[in-house]
Amino acid sequence: MTLANLLSDEQIIPEMQATERWSAIKELVDLLTAQGRLAEADRPEVLEALRVREQTMSTGIGFGIAIPHASSEKISEVVAAFGRSTSGIEFGSLDHAPVRFIVLFIVPKDQFQVHLRTLAAIAKFLNDRGVRERLASAEGGREILEVFGASGR
């Protein structure tokens, strides 16, 4: 499973409005709801699952990357959204640096292995400095999606 498979141009926010962790998570969940990837009625439960995960430990993993994630019985397949912030978002990251790239994903409750593989694939992909540089310079959602597809990961 690649990020290009999980995302479409419509699931990308090229310049997020949020300036802190929780509003960034809400902004991405709102995008998934608006795109019909997540039912409006399921939004509160998904936000709560993401909040609980963030309270355990920040999903800001360093290098300007955050990967908020959760599982939910309300979905039947993995859903994801990507947001970029050129100014950076305070996320309580492990390295205390602002986050510029956020990949939020939700996995069906009974798919633990898919959850782990998705998380590992995203972290490995974004760990590449060249990928982060291409994401930073991409102009708009279409170019960001091309970066995800170009690596084949």
**SS3 of 65, please?**
strand
Q: Print burial letters for 116-142: b (CB count within 10 Å at least 16), e (below 16).
A: eebbebbeebbeeeebbebbeebeebe
User: HSE of 37 in the Cβ direction (CA atoms, 13 Å)?
Assistant: 23
Is 115 one of the catalytic residues?
no
Residue 61, classified by CB atoms within 10 Å of its CB into exposed (0-12), middle (13-18) or buried (19+), is buried
Sign, CA dihedral 136-140-143-147, equals positive
Identified catalytic residue from 69, 100, 115, 132: 69
Residue numbers annotated as active site: 69
